[in-house]
Amino acid sequence: MDTTRTPDAPASESSPVSAVPRSFGRTLRAYVALTKPRVLELLLVTTVPVMILAQNGLPNLWLVLATVIGGSLSAGSAAAFNMYLDRDIDAHMQRTVNRPLVTGEVSPRGALIFAWSLGVFSTLWLWLTTNALAAILSATAIFFYVVIYTMILKRRTEQNIVWGGIAGCFPVVIGWSAVTGSLTWTPLILFALVFLWTPPHYWPLSMKYKTQYEEVDVPMLGATRSGAQVGLQVILYAWATVACSLLLIPVAEMGIVYTASALVFGGWFIYESHRLYNRAVRGTEPAPMRVFHASITYLTLLFVAIAVDPLLPF
């Protein structure tokens, strides 16, 4: 597979599409879309519960807001850089053809300025409102997602999401460091948890869009391997994710709510992973989106338990 082919980008500063006058509201929505708002949900789901755990109670509301604002701007910067760099392949994938750089609602130059602005401002914001460690971790997350994942790994290896997904792990350590100003084993275990969760979350999605990834020569594992091979990898990572979640119990002295949640929801996540594999082996439709949605629900409920556990009197 030739992973170096890059179809011509449809939108440029001189594109006639981008020259069409637009209302302020439509332009604003286009720039918001550059930040991939739905991806920000993961940031909220993980950051706030970790801050509660770090504080062992409710942290200062202003600190929470400052961290969430800074983290959102940082994630938005990384997403905008990603759309700028991937605008050539986005134009050839059905699920991404409506992105602002493809439609011409935002010019490449405008997107690049926007991405840099968000990145610089988010780093300064976190430095001034939280602490230097949180700001440095935030800037590192942007670098990892843009350079390591998007520019280096994405079009070169089917393991791209494994190592590139590290960028999505940073919200937990940013949230923890914003409260404590340091890192301990607890946030590192949570970092590993999100790291292990990312492949079984994303590979089922790449199975669904297998043909589209093949057409743009992006070697996602779900597009390069058989359903059974992908299913087996999903199982292995799902088990590793649940095992990592249980490691948090003795290290962070988690209570009954988290323990029960990790066991019950983790068992369900593993069940859905095995179901994907078994259906693929039998040659029936593996329904990969069941695992994709299950992974989101699992992580959400697990981090809700992380938030609730320190607030209980037992």
| Domain extent listing, the chain | 24-157+169-178, 184-314
pTM of the model: 0.89
| Of 135, 127, 193, 206, the residue nearest 166 (C-alpha) | 193
Distance CA 278, CA 174 (A): 38
The encoded tokens of residue 213 equal: 């990834």
Distance CA 148, CA 138 (A): 15
The pLDDT of residue 21? 52
Q: Which residue has the tokens 């929801």?
A: 265
pLDDT per residue as tens digits for the range 169-208: 999 999 999 999 999 999 999 999 999 999 999 999 999 9
Is residue 279 within 8 Å of residue 285, measured between CB atoms?
yes
The pLDDT of residue 127? 98
The pLDDT of residue 43? 84
Q: Which residue has the tokens 């700028």?
A: 84
pLDDT tens digit at each of 314 positions of the chain: 443 334 444 444 434 344 445 688 889 999 999 999 887 788 889 999 999 999 999 999 999 999 999 999 999 999 999 999 999 999 999 889 999 999 999 999 999 999 999 999 999 999 999 999 999 999 999 999 999 999 999 999 999 999 888 999 999 999 999 999 999 999 999 999 999 999 999 999 999 999 999 889 999 998 899 999 999 999 999 999 999 999 999 999 999 999 999 999 999 999 999 999 999 999 888 899 999 999 999 999 999 999 999 999 87
| Of 216, 221, 204, the residue nearest 157 (C-alpha) | 221
The encoded tokens of residue 120 equal: 């610089």
Domain boundaries 184-314, corresponding CATH code:
1.20.120
Within its chain, how far is the Cα of 122 from the centroid? Answer: 18
Q: Rg of the chain's alpha carbons, rounded to an integer?
A: 20
The pLDDT of residue 15? 42
Domain boundaries 24-157+169-178, corresponding CATH code:
1.10.357.140
3-state secondary structure the chain: CCCCCCCCCCCCCCCCCCCCCCCHHHHHHHHHHHCCHHHHHHHHHHHHHHHHHHHCCCCCHHHHHHHHHHHHHHHHHHHHHHHHHCHHHHCCCHHHCCCHHHHCCCCHHHHHHHHHHHHHHHHHHHHHHCCHHHHHHHHHHHHHHHHHHHHHHCCCCCCHHHHHHHHHHHHHHHHHHHHHCCCCHHHHHHHHHHHHHHHHHHHHHHHHCHHHHHHCCCCCHHHHCCHHHHHHHHHHHHHHHHHHHHHHHHHHCCCHHHHHHHHHHHHHHHHHHHHHHHHHHHCCCCCHHHHHHHHHHHHHHHHHHHHHHHHCCC
Distance CA 111, CA 9 (A): 14
Residue 209, amino acid:
Y
